[in-house]
Amino acid sequence: MSFPRISIKTTHVELTGEIEDLLDQKLKPLEKFISNEETDVSCNVELEKVTEHQSGKIYRVEVNFKIAGRLHRAESTEDQIERAVDVVRDELKRELRRAENKHRSLVRRGGAALKEMLMFGKGE
């Protein structure tokens, strides 16, 4: 499965081609966490400029990444959109890697339990 189309919602930010390209470039590497047979995948991004601030951390980026019915969510508020997208990408990558490792360890534990059940009573 290739990376899904990114749906973008903006608040107080003008959506330009540069921002779309930035999101596509930064979020595309998350494709490796999607299995080939997976069909239920969506990526929603919300960009917002916090209006009560003039400077400081004024850009908020929120990403909801749904794979196989599981929602992976990350949010960041930074002084630049690029920096906020980087933080969100790293947080999502960490969450997806943790979910992948958890699934792998559950499969291994199940296999070990099955092996133990098959070996029960042998070797006497």
The domain ranges of the chain are 6-118
CATH 3.30.160.100 for domain 6-118: yes
Compute CA distances 94 → 18, 35, 56, 109, whole Å: 26, 17, 26, 22
Amino acid letter for position 4? P
Distance CA 49, CA 21 (A): 19
| pTM exceeding 0.85 | no
| Cross-strand pairs, 41 | 67
Q: Could you please report the per-residue DSSP string of 27-91? A: HGGGGGGS-TT---EEEEEEEEE-TT-SSSS-EEEEEEEEETTEEEEEEEEESSHHHHHHHHHHH
Mean pLDDT, 10 residues at a time, over the chain (124 residues)? 81 92 91 80 91 80 90 92 94 89 78 80 55
Copy the structure tokens of residue 35: 């299995």
Distance CA 74, CA 85 (A): 10
